[in-house]
Each structure stands twice: as structure tokens, then as C-alpha cells.
């Protein structure tokens, strides 16, 4: 069974759900962290009196340049973490996946998907097959459609 469950979230483990929720929250926090200063900058450039006074209070243009330096460093750190994560996942997937050139027999295939060998043989030479699943995503029945 594939690790990627798109249309059946009830089949996801608790660990995957919590991980997805944590990633979602971190992404929104980073998005808001980067958008708030842009909104402030746009208000200042458009001439909002309150923002002009606030920018003077915080140091004006010099303060803005220092803030932009902090944001560039933050973006570079986020990019580096993202690239490290991609590299880690690629190394981990190579270690977990078996050899690409391994030949799988019919009996191994049937044992993995819990299908009978005779059902697989019936489905070999037909152009269309219906596959029925249970509530847990396991194959229950293969139904070959014989062309007439």
C-alpha cells in the first residue's frame, strides 16, 4: 500500500496527522511573519499618517534597512533548512526503498496485496479490471471485464 493517502484521510496515522497540522501551523506563522512588515511598508509608502509617525519613531529608513537585513537572513535560514530537509528525505528514501531492478513474482505480488493467484491470472489478459476495496483500503475483490 502506498504511503500517500490523498482521498482517504481516515487512513492516515495519528503521527502523520499531527505532523501535517504542525507543518501547516509553522507555514502560517512564517507567512504572517513576512507579511506584517510588508503591510506596514506599503502603508508608509502610501502616506498613511499614523505609519509615517510610527516609522519616524522607530528610526525611519535606517531602521527599515536593518529590518530588511534581518528578513533576508531569516529567508536564507529557512531556505537552508528546507534544502537540508529535502536532502535528508532523499537519503532516507534511498535507504528504505529496495533495489529498483528487483523482479517481483506473481506469488509475492499476491501475498503483498492479499489477492488470490487465480484472480490475478484471470485479470492478466483483459483490458479493464474493477478493483474493490474495504474501509481500510485493502483489496477485497478483483473483477475482470471480459470484452465481447
Q: Is the pLDDT score of 33 beyond 70?
A: yes
Measure CA of the first residue to CA of the last residue in the chain; give whole Å: 33
Looking at residue 120, what is its pLDDT?
80
CA distance 129 to 142: 7
- Give the rounded percent of residues in the chain with a pLDDT score beyond 70: 86
Looking at residue 6, what is its pLDDT?
60
DSSP class per residue in 114-135:
T--HHHHHHHTT-SEEEEEE-T
Looking at residue 1, what is its pLDDT?
47
Handedness of CA 115, 117, 121, 122 (dihedral sign): negative
Q: What is the pTM of this model?
A: 0.39
Q: What is the CA radius of gyration of the chain?
A: 27
Residues 104-116 have pLDDT tens digits of: 788 888 888 888 8
Q: Is the pLDDT score of 27 beyond 60?
A: yes
Residues 39-96 have pLDDT tens digits of: 777 777 787 777 777 777 777 677 777 877 888 898 899 899 999 999 998 888 776 6
Q: Which cell goes with 144?
A: 475482470
- Taking residues 14-20, report their average pLDDT: 87
Determine how many CB atoms are found less than 10 A away from the CB of residue 123: 17
Amino acid at each position: 500500500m502506498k504511503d500517500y493517502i490523498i482521498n482517504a484521510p481516515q487512513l492516515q496515522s495519528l503521527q502523520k496527522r499531527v505532523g501535517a497540522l504542525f507543518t501547516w501551523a509553522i507555514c502560517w506563522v512564517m507567512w504572517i511573519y513576512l507579511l506584517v512588515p510588508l503591510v506596514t511598508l506599503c502603508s508608509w509608502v502610501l502616506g498613511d499618517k499614523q505609519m509615517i509617525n510610527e516609522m519616524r519613531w522607530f528610526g525611519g529608513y535606517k531602521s527599515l534597512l536593518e529590518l530588511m537585513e534581518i528578513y533576508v537572513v531569516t529567508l536564507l535560514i529557512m531556505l537552508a533548512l528546507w534544502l537540508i530537509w529535502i536532502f535528508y528525505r532523499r537519503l532516507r528514501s534511498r535507504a528504505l526503498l529496495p533495489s529498483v531492478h528487483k523482479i517481483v513474482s506473481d506469488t509475492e505480488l499476491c501475498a503483498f496485496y492479499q489477492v488470490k493467484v487465480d484472480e490475478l491470472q484471470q485479470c492478466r489478459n483483459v483490458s479493464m479490471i474493477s478493483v474493490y476495496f474495504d474501509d481500510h483500503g485493502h483489496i477485497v475483490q478483483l473483477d475482470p471485464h471480459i470484452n465481447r
